[in-house]
A and B are shown apart, each in its own frame.
Chain A
Amino acid sequence: MRIHETAVNTAVLLALLSVPAFAWWTDEPFTITLATRAAVLALAAVGLNILLGIGGLVSFGHAVFFGLGGYAMAILAFHAQNYTELNLGIGVIDGTNSMPVIWLVAIIVSAITACLIGLLSLRTSGVYFIMITLAFGQMFYYFAISWSTYGGEDGVSIYVRNQFPGLNTLDPIQFFLLCFGLLCFTLFVTARVQRSAFGVALNATRQSRARAEAVGLRPVRLQLVAFALSGAITGLAGALFADLNRFVSPSMFSWQLSGELIVLVIIGGVGRLIGPVIGACVFVALEHLLGGLTEYWHIALGAILLGIVLFGRGGVLGLLTGQDGARV
């Protein structure tokens, strides 16, 4: 059976919207929190999908950006809640609990870091690329553990969720809608980018580097931009994730998290616009439904992953739309 991809995209987003809407109706805030978790993880994976799906670069260090977003939130909010100043070396600033400001900082810091990591890692390819991105992830992880100002291994708790003009962010449904809105907006931007000249060029570079160069394109430059965009989105997700939990810890930088993001993308369908959203929903549902029964729920996740890799390269979305290629 073939279903048009746009119809699937809409259906997936409506499904993700309807679960918390129903939970709000029946007053089950925990379910809303689960849906928010799915939306935020989906956003992080949408970021990774730009690099992995369109660019064909398997980053095993995307937790770096997730963690940077998280710590950007934690550091700014930490100083705001303690009424202390934040010394940047070049000057002193106050903390803030304004979400838009925090998001902006998370996006900028992640994008710049992504450029730097990209400059070094894009000299390599294949397994070496995977290893070097993993190494960067570990570097940030151990740095966070040893950074005692912000809790070291224990992380930082932020007692009150940060603020967004006009919303009560402590109300679960309002915070969900905020995250969901950002997810939809990012999906829209990603879809545009994917179809743009840049997207066509990046997508072709993944398929044939020689072809790209022969028409006058510079693969590394394209991949670097993809890296920055990808990191920025995952960084934004990290800031939201921190606000969802009102807590950050070095585990946001862990290689397990990098791996989970890759898993989300693969489950949903590599390079497919809505793939990461499906992946995140499946992941959070499994985690919740099976996680309550056994602590070995990852085995079930592994089995699903194995099934997809062996039998359906296009992931869940590939099964639904009957094609395993991507895109554009």
Chain B
Amino acid sequence: MSEAVLTTHKLCKRFGALSATDDVSITLLPDEIHAVIGPNGAGKSTLIQQICGSLRPDSGRVELLGRDISIFDTAARARAGIARTFQVSQLAMEDTVLQNAVLGAIGSRGISWRMWRNAQQTPTLIARADTALERVGLIEHRDTVCANLSHGQRRQLEVAVALTLEPKAFIMDEPMAGLGAEGSKTLTAFLDGLRLEAPILLVEHDMDAVFALADRISVLVYGKVIATGSAAEIRNSAAVREAYLGDAT
């Protein structure tokens, strides 16, 4: 079997009496989309924060390509190859679409100490940014100020910035949120191809998208993984139906 790209080992995080993640061990294998589903408040975003380094677990560890990255800060994890998209868009709102994409290129290439050359006239940065914008279909909006983008376009830009990092693994927190049927379909098709570049850990509420995309699904309830399996297995699992899917159908 091929080695996992990303692994969490028994991640635990408590907020007071609340166990937001409870012994969560999951793996992300090469070329796969591993969906994490669960009701609101199940701890999905908390899990993502621990993987990306913006929240320290109480115990447990995170490995990227067999290397323990638990002591890495967020920036180091990003440079090591973890690209995250946020549930609520985190963009430089006063900047243009292009500047946001260039920012990704600057960060991942580790050249933020360069203080003289015009970043927006640096061919290598522009090429990387434009490629990403082209792929998500934002290229004709490259000079639009982010604040003037529609919600859906901001979601696309989140993905584009992640692409500029050329990561080893994508971690996406509800990328479809608020996209509408048309937008979800386009993004679903895009993510379907993206898995071959780098595997995707996908937190998503849109069940159509999840069942269409996921090679494997983990179900998180009250901070615990209650099941992991193929889409068919999860669909037919009694425990999952009771805990989660039951109230959705």
Contacts and interface: CB of A to CB of B under 8 A. Distances in A.
User: Do A and B actually bind?
Assistant: yes
B91 interface: yes
A200 B78 contact: no
Contact of A199 (B108, B119, B122): B119
A213 B111 CA distance: 14
A326 interface: yes
- Main SS class of interface, A: helix
B149 to A, nearest CB: 14
Given A196-B114, A197-B112, A214 B90 contact: yes
A204 B96 CA distance: 11
A126 B6 CA distance: 36
Interface size class of A (residues with CB under 8 A): 20 to 34
Contact of B119 (A195, A212, A214): A195
Nearest to A200: B119
Interface stretch (A80-88, A157-165, A216-224): A216-224
Nearest to B82: A214
15 contacts: A197-B112, A197-B113, A204-B92, A204-B95, A207-B93, A208-B91, A210-B54, A210-B86, A211-B103, A211-B161, A215-B78, A215-B106, A216-B108, A217-B103, A218-B73
Contacts of B36: none
Nearest to A196: B115
B123 to A, nearest CB: 13
Interface string B143-165: 00100000000000000010011
A325 interface: yes
B75 interface: yes
B84 A214 contact: yes
A215 B103 contact: yes
B108 A215 contact: yes
Interface size class of B (residues with CB under 8 A): 35 or more
A92 to B, nearest CB: 36
A326 B92 contact: no
A204 B106 CA distance: 11
Given A207-B95, A211-B91, A327-B94, A218 B115 contact: no
B120 A216 contact: no
A101 interface: no
A216 B90 contact: no
Contacts, number: 116
A212 B95 CA distance: 13
Contacts of B225: none
A197 B128 CA distance: 14
Contacts of A185: none
A215 B165 CA distance: 7
Interface in B23-75: 52-54, 73-75
B21 interface: no
Interface in B181-200: none
A128 interface: no
Contacts of B108: 215-216
B78 A207 contact: no
A201 B75 contact: no
A213 B74 CA distance: 6
Contacts of A222: 112
B92 A207 contact: yes
